[in-house]
Amino acid sequence: MATEGPATCRVQVAEHPRLLKLKEVFKSKFGSIPKFYVRAPGRVNIIGEHIDYCGYPVLPMAVEQDMLIAVEPVKTHTLQLANTNPLYPDFSTSDNNIQIDKTKPLWHNYFLCGLKGIQEHFGLNKLTGMNCLVDGTIPPSSGLSSSSALVCCAGLVTLTVLGMHLSKVELAEICAKSERYIGTEGGGMDQSISFLAEDGTAKLIEFSPLKATDVKLPSEAVFVIANSCVEMNKAATSHFNIRVMECRLAAKLLAKYKGLQWDKVLRLEEVQANLGVSLEEMLLITEDALHPEPYSSEEVCRCLEISLQELRTQILSPNTQDVPIFKLYQRAKHVYSEAARVLQFKKICEEAPDNMVQLLGELMTQSHVSCRDMYECSCPELDQLVDICRKFGAQGSRLTGAGWGGCTVSIVPADKLPSFLANVREAYYQKNNRSLAPEKQSLFATKPGGGALVFLEA
């Protein structure tokens, strides 16, 4: 399993309407036919929000919505990219030195992240030549990981064109690292589940080293995704990176308070590991070491005995250097409590008590409250949607993904599903007159899907 690469399947394209349509559009665009197709799924994070980049395990599953790319390798060192969605303009380059503009999260830059990550891994400095047509069914900026699915898909496309082999774990690690070229300091959950997902099971994803463990979800419940219709692109704003830096600073202040070598510490998990204490004890240490009032840059410098210049150049990321205040207590409290909820969720799934769905729902709702109040990554629409979902039969509901918009995920008893869908559709989408495109108004039950694949025409 550790060395296994993504599966390759032979398919009759004529029997798959989406592949067939992609093949036809590809032919009209490039005047040739694709040699192969690559799929990478989006994901829904069931619980464990904003903790992967702090070093803690998360619990996502892949969804059926995905990125699909038709590919034709070419002899010239030219990349030509097109998208079936006319909102995303064509792009081409022959530049061997791939430059990714962090100031503009344009769609093709996510493809370039995946391409660049693989090329650099193998030490290649000539651009891999190919024609690619991208077709995505994941709503953009919805918290279902459309951007990471595109990075992963591009990474697997490049690997396949080069005829090289990497394991799923290696691919996930390369793609997680290379997505940072776009400027987001993410953790690695999205890329990991895109490659390591399997049909019928959610996964506990652990980091350092990367490892995925099956988590069997309750058969008597369904997970329902509802899109708030508020878009949030985490590469286009600094909210996300500010949270990453607040967690980094909290880790350093906690480490210094406990007499650890704070300058080597980057993640909250490292503080716990170095102290050898439980998550519950970390919450108590946070209470003692940090104050609830926001910290100014000057106070952080006083606590760490460093200059403002050192803080800005050695600790903060480029787009967070001018942030005036940091809420360290609240962010650390969320991370340590959320990490504990993930482990409780997995334990309940394993023990399967009679009131399992209720217990899992309570953890999901607690997670949302913490995201809303301690991490401040919710928004009024997400809060309203969570309330509506709980009112109409969800045992628990929470925002999923980075937040500030995007989707909620709810756990719903299977026998309540039809009435739940009808009531939520009316109460949130129709009442609020959210007359957006149908795919944006996504409200759908989902089950754990498989990971990234290569399709060859039989």
Q: Is 415 a catalytic residue?
A: no
Residues 6+ positions from 199 with CB-CB distance below 8 Å: 448, 449, 450
Any idea which of 220-224, 227-231, 274-278, 453-457 has the lowest mean pLDDT? 227-231
CATH of domain 8-216+449-457: 3.30.230.10
Q: How confident is the model at residue 95 (pLDDT cuts 50, 70, 90)?
A: confident
The single residue of 90, 190, 214, 415 carrying the catalytic annotation is: 190
What percentage of the chain reaches a pLDDT higher than 70? 97
Residues 6+ positions from 263 with CB-CB distance below 8 Å: 252
3-state helix, strand, coil in the chain (%, to 5): 45, 20, 35
Task: State residue 234's pLDDT score.
Answer: 62
Q: pTM of the entire structure?
A: 0.94
Task: Give yes or no for residue 209 having a pLDDT over 60.
Answer: yes
Task: Give yes or no for residue 236 having a pLDDT over 70.
Answer: no
- pLDDT (tens digit, 9 = 90+) per residue, 405-441? 999 999 999 999 999 999 999 999 988 766 554 544 4
Token pair 């082999």 is at which residue?
Answer: 165
DSSP string, 279-325: HHHHHHHHHHH--SSPEEHHHHHHHHT--HHHIIIIIS-GGGTT--E
